[in-house]
Structure 1
Amino acid sequence: MKILVVMTAKATLHLLDGEEHPSGFWAEEFVVPYSEFTAAGHTVDVATIGGRTPTVDQTSIDPQFLKWVRPPGSPDEDTANAAEYVRVIENTPQLKSPLAVESLTEQDVAAYDGLYVSGGHGAIGDLPKSDALAQVLRWAIARDKPIATVCHGHTALLALRDGDGRWPFEGYRMTAFSHSEELVTSMAGRLPLILEAELTRLGARYEKADVIWDSHVVVDRRLTTGQNPYSSKALAETFLQQLAKG
């Protein structure tokens, strides 16, 4: 099978107070699904807006920071995980020469078995603003392709509308990075949007884990969503199950 991974190319995020906050893609949210997909024997392509090389959020490869983005009592494998994230990122050629989302055609999208949108706060800065990405997603939806998103990857869904001007995921059960989790980041109160609030406003039936930072994955029809970085493995495994259903 062939999977398209879409990810942010933004290296910073413009905050409400004017700061250009260092950002990018979140390592775990790319590396863990990518590793699961390739281990299952699938071909993976990576695409970004403009075909720009994505930048990893440095905090996502800092073992001293990773303890803050997993649930209390979870195994401390932060040093080993950070090293693995760096190893995979440095040895994945698709990250060095990604496809340009704008270059993808309807026929290109038809050739993929599924589409996965990786996360990171940088996604807020470019994914919801891309008309080309919205078109790629519309083509995928029209062909009933399985779609998965994690954490802030859901921002790619915000601008979508159908022919009646409605959000195509209205009424869907889904999860995403929660407001509770945003409130404990250094950007609390300064973000351009709160994803939980935006999805709810558009008509999603939002849900989250009982414990902050815990893994939570939701499947509704052809859409699979994950809440946060710690959800990446469960999301990837669930998405592979969806792909196997055809």
Structure 2
Amino acid sequence: MRRILMIVSSAREIQLEGGGTLATGYWSDEVYTPLRLFRAAGVEVRICTVDGRPGIADPFSLEPRFHYPDADRDFLAAIVRSFADDAEGIRFTLHHYTELDLIVSRRIYEALTYADVEHGLARANVEAAAKESWKHDIGFLEALAARPKVSALVPPAQAQLLADKVKRESEEIARVCEHALTHDRALNSPYELASLSDDEILSFDAVFIPGGHGAMVDLADNRDVERVLRLAHSRRHLIALLCHGPAALLSVGDGPDGGWVFDGYRVAAFSNEEEDQAIAGLKRPGWFLESELKNRGVVYDEAPAWVSHVVVDRHLLTAQNQMSDEACAQAVLRKLGVLQGNAA
């Protein structure tokens, strides 16, 4: 049986630039989704925190808008990739993702194909309306209504019903996620990281560290985190870090050659652009993860904001944001040989 050591933040708040704090914790889906997939694949997961206290889900991460159904989220990501690199420099933002009803794009596409519209034409119409919504900051349903050939087949009232259905499903997924995290025995009775011997740490096939702003608080400068990552690195065991999870790399100092242990590795992590948007209207954290990782010597590998992105460099596997949670977990399972696919 494959074994994963999951290190979860137990931080409750983060200092903001200029003073004050913001309630935080781990990002709910970055723990819930990988944990569910790992266990379903028959992998043993040991959960640790740096102080033995259970972590808490960031309250922000439990909002339904961050729990869209996987099929809708994946379809939207594919749509966004068709126009996100815009020549005019317009960027896809969290506002677009959560507030313009773009998440209903898959349901509209299916309604059009059900109305006997050819698949390619249905996809082209959905992409065009999504781009209109994104570029002019108008609701996706409004952009659809302005396309007579689409609105004749999927009237605005039907489109609204489809959007409402997605929202209801998201609310239910968020409730299930919160309930699962609240009642998970292992998650709420974690081991203290310092209690693990070196031999115990090396008995795990992989180390997995999810994100949330809490990771920037208690995982970025911790000697026990350093010990775990140095040991895993020394044996080339898989090290997987998601979203803000790569902050843990900053705990690790130099190697025997005098250079930083992870100098020159390609790394994905929560970007400065995403950070600016994630806490819009608040003073930002005292430091940004992307900038700190670059300063230490990683080759930062960035995708468009809020799009799933996983990077593998040797035995280091990193993912950019919470949209990458499922892809990251599946990549871990492939690297461990549990799932079919490229494990190189």
- In the alignment, which residue of structure 2 is the partner of 1:196? 290
Aligned CA distance change for structure 1 residues 158 and 91 (closer, same or farther; 3 Å): same
Counterpart pick for 1:169 among 262, 287, 291: 262
Deviation at 1:69, TM superposition (A): 8.2
Is residue 109 of structure 1 aligned with residue 110 of structure 2? no
Aligned CA distance change for structure 1 residues 99 and 82 (closer, same or farther; 3 Å): same
What secondary structure does 2:233 align onto? helix
Aligned CA distance change for structure 1 residues 216 and 65 (closer, same or farther; 3 Å): closer
- In the alignment, which residue of structure 2 is the partner of 1:83? 175
- In the alignment, which residue of structure 2 is the partner of 1:53? 54
Query: 1 or 2, which has the higher helix percentage?
Result: 2
200-209 vs 67-76, which deviates more? 67-76
- In the alignment, which residue of structure 2 is the partner of 1:159? 251
From the CA coordinates, give the structure whose radius of gyration is larger. 2
What secondary structure does 1:239 align onto? helix
Which ranges of 4 or more aligned residues in structure 1 deviate by more than 6 Å? none
Deviations 1:144-181 (A, max 9, x none): 11010011111110121212332222111111001110
Instruction: Note if contact 1:6-1:115 (Cα within 8 Å) is conserved in structure 2.
Output: yes
What secondary structure does 1:51 align onto? coil
Instruction: Note if contact 1:152-1:177 (Cα within 8 Å) is conserved in structure 2.
Output: yes
Deviations 1:112-141 (A, max 9, x none): 111100110011111012111101111111
Deviations 1:20-74 (A, max 9, x none): 2100000010001101100100111110011111011011112156674894734
22-31 vs 167-176, which deviates more? 167-176
Instruction: Note if contact 1:69-1:229 (Cα within 8 Å) is conserved in structure 2.
Output: no
55-64 vs 36-45, which deviates more? 55-64
Counterpart pick for 2:212 among 120, 123, 131: 120
Which amino acid counterpart does residue 236 of structure 1 have in structure 2? Answer: A
Counterpart pick for 1:242 among 329, 335, 339: 335
Deviations 1:183-221 (A, max 9, x none): 1122665312111111111221112223x2110000110
- What RMSD over aligned residues (CA atoms) do the two structures have, in Å? 2.0
CA distance in 2, matches of 1:154, 1:231: 14
Which amino acid counterpart does residue 41 of structure 1 have in structure 2? Answer: G
Query: 1 or 2, which has the higher strand percentage?
Result: 1
Deviation at 1:17, TM superposition (A): 2.1
16-25 vs 180-189, which deviates more? 180-189
- In the alignment, which residue of structure 1 is the partner of 2:111? none
Aligned CA distance change for structure 1 residues 194 and 108 (closer, same or farther; 3 Å): same
Which amino acid counterpart does residue 46 of structure 1 have in structure 2? Answer: I
Which amino acid counterpart does residue 233 of structure 1 have in structure 2? Answer: E
CA distance in 2, matches of 1:235, 1:64: 20
The 5 A counterparts of 1:199-210 are 199-210=293-304
CA distance in 2, matches of 1:167, 1:138: 11
Runs of 5+ consecutive residues of structure 2 not aligned to the other structure:
69-93, 105-165, 338-342
Aligned CA distance change for structure 1 residues 195 and 183 (closer, same or farther; 3 Å): same
Is residue 145 of structure 1 aligned with residue 245 of structure 2? no
Identity %: 35
Which amino acid counterpart does residue 170 of structure 1 have in structure 2? Answer: D
- In the alignment, which residue of structure 2 is the partner of 1:179? 272
CA distance in 2, matches of 1:128, 1:11: 15
Instruction: Note if contact 2:34-2:329 (Cα within 8 Å) is conserved in structure 1.
Output: yes
- In the alignment, which residue of structure 2 is the partner of 1:23? 24
CA distance in 2, matches of 1:105, 1:18: 38
TM-score normalised by the chain length of structure 1: 0.93
Deviation at 1:91, TM superposition (A): 2.8
What secondary structure does 1:170 align onto? coil
Which amino acid counterpart does residue 36 of structure 1 have in structure 2? Answer: L
Instruction: Note if contact 2:242-2:320 (Cα within 8 Å) is conserved in structure 1.
Output: yes
